[in-house]
Amino acid sequence: MINEVSRIMTAAEYAAKYGLHRVGARPGLVSYLKQAWGRRDFAYELAKSRLQSSNQRNRLGMLWVVIKPTMNALMYGFIFGILQGGSRGHDFPVYVVIGVFLFEFFAGSVTTGAKAITGNAALVQSLAFPRITLVISAVIQQFLTLVPMVVVMYVYCMILGTYPRWSWLMIVPVLVLFTMFNTGMALICARLTVHIRDFTQILPLITRILFFTSGVLFPVERVLNAFPFLVRLFDFHPIYQALQVARGSIMNGVEYPSFYWIVMAVWAVVALVGGTIYFWAAEERYGRVD
């Protein structure tokens, strides 16, 4: 008669048998996104509270939301208006206002998104939740900042002689695509910052370079008309396209190729999907942030 010797199960085998998972383990992508969606109220409330507290100590408070881009538009518009001379283009002041106000949304999204994990180390290490909600909350905060900026932007456009028309409503799909793109870029920057802490020191330089090379302050086809190859490259520049479509929707006499919408949509989807997967792949690393 053969005696059966019962084998002692290991802790890992017990965990597998009873459906236990390692603390901080990365869930599947679909499950991860479902968990993030379930915490959408947390992301929104966190964004709203931080927006309210960001300027609470300033005497002018939330007015700085529109004062800062207004001052930037005045300063850069004056300097670049003089430098460009006769090549400034049609309705240059309106051109600059739209460019500066919308670029502020991009710069704010990637800058605050990059610090979403490292800047919340205590929260990340003490609670279990999908860390992507912190980055999304940062983008929501910038979007809430953008809403009054867009209203003021329209007021400035009317003061400068551009009057309302139905095409102004096209700013809505532009901002939807631009927000998707910004979210994807913020997710990429957030993970890079976890791996390379010095990235937060480099990021302001990157955004400044993009500010001066994305057509925020100058019409590309006029300034770079001697370099048709460079002008052609701007047809696939996501930030430039968003600015040009917005300008074409608001300003009179500004035209853009219709395929810009297709390229913008592709950029938005690729950035959002790619950024989400790239960020999710390092989810276990965020709990060890120091």
In a domain, 101, yes or no: yes
How confident is the model at residue 18, as a pLDDT? 46
Taking the C-alpha atoms of residue 251 and residue 52, their distance in angstroms, rounded to an integer, is 32
How confident is the model at residue 112, as a pLDDT? 94
Q: How does DSSP classify residue 236? A: G
In a domain, 155, yes or no: yes
For the full predicted model, state whether its pTM sits above 0.75: yes
Give the CA angle between residues 144, 147, 149 to the nearest 5°.
Answer: 115
Query: Can you tell me which residue has the tokens 């520049």?
Result: 237
How confident is the model at residue 251, as a pLDDT? 87
Which tokens sit at 250? 């608001």
Taking the C-alpha atoms of residue 269 and residue 183, their distance in angstroms, rounded to an integer, is 10
Render pLDDT for 67-89 as a digit per residue (tens, 0 to 9).
Answer: 777 777 777 766 666 555 555 56
Taking the C-alpha atoms of residue 199 and residue 111, their distance in angstroms, rounded to an integer, is 10
- Structural contact between residues 285 and 192, judged by C-beta atoms closer than 8 angstroms: no
Taking the C-alpha atoms of residue 280 and residue 5, their distance in angstroms, rounded to an integer, is 44
Q: How does DSSP classify residue 290? A: -
User: How many Cβ atoms sit within 10 Å of the Cβ of residue 101?
Assistant: 24
In a domain, 7, yes or no: no
How confident is the model at residue 20, as a pLDDT? 45
In a domain, 2, yes or no: no
Q: Residue 172 belongs to what domain range?
A: 37-286
In a domain, 30, yes or no: no
In a domain, 13, yes or no: no
Low pLDDT (below 70) residues in the chain: 1-25, 55-65, 77-90, 288-290
How far is CA 270 from its chain centroid? 14
In a domain, 4, yes or no: no
* Short-list 88, 135, 70, 75, CA closest to 109: 135
How confident is the model at residue 60, as a pLDDT? 56
How confident is the model at residue 64, as a pLDDT? 66
Domain count, the chain: 1
- Structural contact between residues 177 and 106, judged by C-beta atoms closer than 8 angstroms: no
In a domain, 207, yes or no: yes
